[in-house]
Amino acid sequence: MALMPVEEALERILSGAAPAEVPVMLPLSESCDRVLASDLAALRTHPPFAASAMDGYAVRASEAAAGAVLAVQGEAAAGHGFDGSLAAGSAIRIFTGAPVPVGADTVVIQENTERLNDQTVRFNVAAEPGRHIRPAGVDFEKGSAGLKAGRLLDAGAVTFAAAMNHATLPVYSKPKVAVLATGDELRLPGQELQPGQIIASNTFGVAALARSAGADVIDLGIAQDRMDSLNAALDTAIAEGADILVTIGGASVGDHDLVQEALKARGMDLDFWKIAMRPGKPLMAGRLDKLRVLGLPGNPASSLVCAHLFLEPLITRLAGRPDPKRIRKAVLGTELPENDLRQDYLRGDLTEDASGTLTATPMPRQDSSLMKVFADARCLIIRPPFAPAGKPGAPCEVLILRD
């Protein structure tokens, strides 16, 4: 079977992937980091009245020359405006956010005044018309466009939505990603290991990546190398409404690799399972009705590289989230030999000089079983098939793993 190019594999995995057509309505308090599913217009005008931007005195600018002494007519505070109109020759004590009284056309900040007694205030500088007043609707008006569909709701967007008087927001559903580790040799962290057993570490890394990409994770645990164990896990994934099933290990064709067999027996349409990449060649992709299936390799680096390349884009597409734009231009920090027919993803370090140029240097060891190397890496250096030998300073592309 010919090895499929990475670009074609990604295109096929993403084919038809889109957010659910019917959004979910979430309270503001639960909407941060979700994606807005439809445009949001303002339900109110803000500010709804001309408001003071500072603590001070509301006056007519023509009456508040430098040295002028005016009678203090009353007070206006946020939530408690002055009831009435500003009288001639008077000032109204005002606080930030309070409505500007009828008749006043400016606010003089308190630092430029001197309170002589309870009844009078002196102005040490001349008032300027229109100063320190926020006009009604200066921020936005009722019915005006607010937030666009597709906006990732960060703190600023949630604040804006609340100010527009939206108590709930239409957002895209989070894709449900079921993660299943397979293999008789696997045990959970903290469990005692018998000879020949290892920790199922990949599950936690893949689940963490899925959550960061915007998914809810269904932890299916570890399935033994038996059809009944695999089928029980598949039953759980389907019953809980998973959108994506991610299996780790067991998707090849060895005597103990039963994942493909179990999925095909359930009716999975296998799309492909070999890619021209290193690490991660034995990646499996298929569909089981509406359930998208990704079979990741068992080696930790292979599993995580494939998760970054294929699982993260699939989740972001289903969640309606923006492309994380991990691919960046860089230069090589060392010599590299020419490449063969498989696209390489070398775990590497990344530095940035004063001009913003990124320099990528491969880690000394690239074995796909090494987890410390992957944890230390800041990027994956992408070497296309049949790339010529590279010298230090030669241009390259990198996939950013962490800042």
Positive or negative, the CA dihedral 331, 337, 342, 345 is negative
First-to-last alpha carbon distance for the chain, in angstroms, is 38
The whole-number average pLDDT for the span 107-114 is: 98
| Residues in Cβ contact with 94 at an 8 Å cutoff, skipping those fewer than 6 apart | 52, 55, 56, 57, 58, 75, 76, 77, 82, 100, 101, 107
Q: How far apart are CA 220 and CA 176, in angstroms?
A: 12
Q: Is residue 314 a contact partner of residue 292, using CB atoms and an 8 Å limit?
A: yes
Residues forming a β-bridge with 277: 343
User: Which pLDDT does position 252 carry in this prediction?
Assistant: 60
Residue 110, SS3? Answer: helix
Confidence of residue 21 (pLDDT cuts 50, 70, 90): confident
Q: Read off the DSSP letter of residue 290.
A: T
133-180 confidence digits (pLDDT tens)? 999 999 999 999 999 999 999 999 999 999 999 999 999 999 999 999
Q: List CB contacts of 262: < 8 A, sequence separation 6 or more.
A: 227, 230, 231, 234
Q: For 14-171, where are the E strands, in sequence order? A: 24-27, 40-41, 51-52, 56-59, 69-76, 90-94, 106-109, 113-115, 120-123, 133-134, 145-147, 168-171
Model pTM above 0.75: yes
How far are the Cα atoms of 108, 134, 139 from residue 51, in angstroms, in the given order? 13, 5, 12
Alpha carbon distance 271, 263 (integer Å): 12
Domains of the chain: 6-20+174-319 (3.40.980.10), 24-42+142-171 (3.90.105.10), 51-134 (2.170.190.11), 327-400 (2.40.340.10)
**Are 303 and 203 within 8 A, CB to CB?**
no
pLDDT of 255 strictly over 50? no
